[in-house]
Structure 1
Amino acid sequence: MKTKVRVKKKYKKKSKNYIMILVVVIFTLAVSSWAFYELTKPKVATQWFDSRAKAKQNIILPRDDGYHANTMEWWYYNGRLITESGKEYSFHFTTFLVNNLMTHTVFHSSLGDHTKKRHYTDQSRTAGNPSVGVKNSFLFKYQNWFMHGENGHDQLKVANDQFAFDLQLEDLEPVVNHGVDGIISLDIAGDSYYYSRTRMNVTGTLEVAGIKEHVTGISWFDHQWGDFLPAKLSWDWFSLQLDNGVDLMIYQMRDKQGNPVRYFVTVAKNGTTEILDQAEFTLTPGREWHSKKTGNSYPIFWKLKIPGKKIDLNISSIINDSEVDARLTTYLTYWEGAVNVEGSHTGQGFMELQGYGSANK
């Protein structure tokens, strides 16, 4: 009899354990289902952006200078250079890191000769990520491409048959975070982290047509990353450095029909940053330049008005033919070049126009 009682107790104990496990499983499934519903139920754009933004970490430097395990990421520079003989040039240099079906890295660069109105471009692509293992900074080395940045102390090297430069850059202003704590919503394309170093002092050397000279200048730096798909949208983008110390970033996103769907304007000066609403400014395109090579037409003159800041600017290209034919590396063409700023304020800047013409559809 004693043996039977023991078996009965043992059986009851096992039954209780099974019931406990079943309760835990049911509770876990219920919580998971609720969480899935909350994440996937329809929300208006503002609510969705706010919930995503709050769930993410703020940008922390120098940690976030380095690469991230996201779908898309890029490190971008543009700038003006003056040689010791007084010649004026402009440059841009971008490294794209794409983590999709496979990881690959793309390099784009251009040089504008303001005197001769010549625009030189170069591009390259390689499998993998040359910056793997680098922490609190970025370091891309591939053939004749070199890009290194560490908390606002950067170096850029590009060398090809048309031009070569070796530039050292030092940050002059506090870092500017765009959007909400450094997160911007790109509408149907997803969300993106985004910060800028709006003024970096530049020194180094530039070689064009076999002539090498020392240069000085001012540069702009952007770092953007996230699980977003830029091919879903096109854009008009401007970085403007006004002579009164104000720096402006204008980012107008467009859908496939060319209609603006999202705007960003950031005003920065001496460490103070302000994000403007769409109602606070107008951005109007003017005359166009037509590319004989690709058939694309780009608006190379724009009117920017910010009444609350008493800003009324004319933005015009310096070299009209500043198209970058990147179909060998990113399968796209775009316009990337220096602009003059005149009107209520004077200054310098850069403009990027992407999504114009049949080559981008």
Structure 2
Amino acid sequence: MRKLWKKLPWIIAGVVLIIGLLKPPLLPWMLLVLTVLACLFLPRRGLIGPVELPADDAFLPSEQVQWWYWTGHLFTDDGRRFGFEIVFFSFDSLVIFRDQLVQAAVTDVNGQRFSFEEFVEFHLPKRTPNGFNLTSGTDNKVTAVGGDGHDRLHAQVGNYVLDLELNATQPPALHYGGDPHPYRFGGYTYYYSRPKMATTGTISIGGQTFQVTGNSWFDRQYGELYQAILQGWQWFAIELDDNRQIMLFDFKGSDTSVEKSGSITDAQGQTVTLAAHEFTVTVQGEWTSPNTGCTYPSGWEVEIRGEKFTVQPLVLYQELRAQHTLWVGPTYWEGACSVTGATAGQAYVELNGFCRCPGRGA
């Protein structure tokens, strides 16, 4: 009965549209009825107030674009090192554009291999109070269940299978103070992170299973984000050995940065915002993908409040590219990196908007 009630507005809209098409003189009135139905039943769009947790871990029907994003660094008992990415994107823009893009990747640092999988789901996530229950298809090759800083992740990526449990070790980092942030080029975002989640679990490689431990970084973003996606960016999630975590977001225009933001979370879990003049990111080199021909920055000098760090990819090839025939893009680089300099550490870096050739993604 509950499912029927949810579908009722769409049933009514379909009947109204058919009547309008069969009887053209009634079409203007039928379109008016459809407009009224949309106002009554479709979720309201726009700002919803400051971030509230754990409520905003859940799927938010008022937001056009949103994602749940995990990256992490894993180590086996014998010293093998892996990076991973699991992300669920949700798009709800028009009545017919309601879907999810699911991606997962594993970086095998010792083996210098990179594997990824992608799935498209033509429906929105289920609503779960104070959390999420995200799946990919009937086979559930990629799943994320949890909320409030306690997550369980599963991903089958080529020859690798991840089963991980994540637990937050400090308060969430509320970027922009937890308030909506308007972009100068249009749109807005809400953005928070859980930048240090203790991670345990297993990784299976070709049927052989290894225990792993490490740290993961969870990002949650929602809002009117299409303009930001079109701008492109460099994003850094830096974890230092002195227990500080640094987020840097460097939006790119045609050839210069159009907006920068960042934050530092200290060892006590207190997060402060970095002003644009307090950090610089200087690209040191480039890498060109043999699969797409796209050229990405590769290697960075980062200076933050007088401290200098060098960030270098642990594997050069860490490019994800759209493989689904019914989906356009994205193609981007996201990978595990080392950090040296004032303090050593590790990082994940995402490069979006550097591959805009026809047929090669967004």
Q: TM-score range by the shorter chain?
A: 0.7 to 0.9
Tell me which residue corresponds to 1:325.
321
Matched AA of 1:294 = T
**RMSD of equivalent CA atoms:** 1.6
Kept after mapping to 2: 8 A contact 1:327/1:333: no
For the residue of structure 1 that corresponds to 2:185, the secondary structure is helix
C-alpha distance in structure 2 between counterparts of 1:216 and 1:147, whole Å: 18
Matched AA of 1:187 = R
Tell me which residue corresponds to 1:186.
183
Cα deviation code 1:17-76 (max 9, x no counterpart): xxxxxxxxxxxxxxxxxxxxxxxxxxxxxxxxxxxx9x7511111111101121100000
Tell me which residue corresponds to 1:252.
250
Kept after mapping to 2: 8 A contact 1:90/1:338: yes
The runs of 5 or more residues in structure 1 that have no matched partner are 1-52
Tell me which residue corresponds to 2:341.
343
Cα deviation code 1:194-220 (max 9, x no counterpart): 000010011111011222111111000
Matched AA of 1:60 = E
Tell me which residue corresponds to 2:297.
299
Matched AA of 2:187 = G
Tell me which residue corresponds to 1:16.
none
Matched AA of 1:94 = V
Instruction: Tell me the matched-pair count.
Output: 304
Cα deviation code 1:312-333 (max 9, x no counterpart): 0001100001111125245121
C-alpha distance in structure 2 between counterparts of 1:333 and 1:175, whole Å: 29
Moved more, 59-68 or 183-192: 183-192
Cα deviation code 1:276-298 (max 9, x no counterpart): 11111111111111111101111
Query: Are 1:67 and 2:59 matched, yes or no?
Result: yes
Query: Are 1:84 and 2:81 matched, yes or no?
Result: no
In the superposition, the TM-score normalised over structure 1's length comes to 0.81
Moved more, 218-227 or 84-93: 84-93
Matched AA of 1:228 = L
Tell me which residue corresponds to 2:43.
none
The runs of 5 or more residues in structure 2 that have no matched partner are 1-45
Moved more, 148-157 or 321-330: 321-330
Q: How does 1:276-295 map to 2 (within 5 A)?
A: 276-295=274-293
How far the C-alpha of 1:183 sits from its partner, in A, is 2.8
Moved more, 164-173 or 136-145: 136-145
Tell me which residue corresponds to 2:106.
111
Moved more, 144-153 or 181-190: 181-190
Kept after mapping to 1: 8 A contact 2:178/2:192: no
In the superposition, the TM-score normalised over structure 2's length comes to 0.81
Tell me which residue corresponds to 1:18.
none
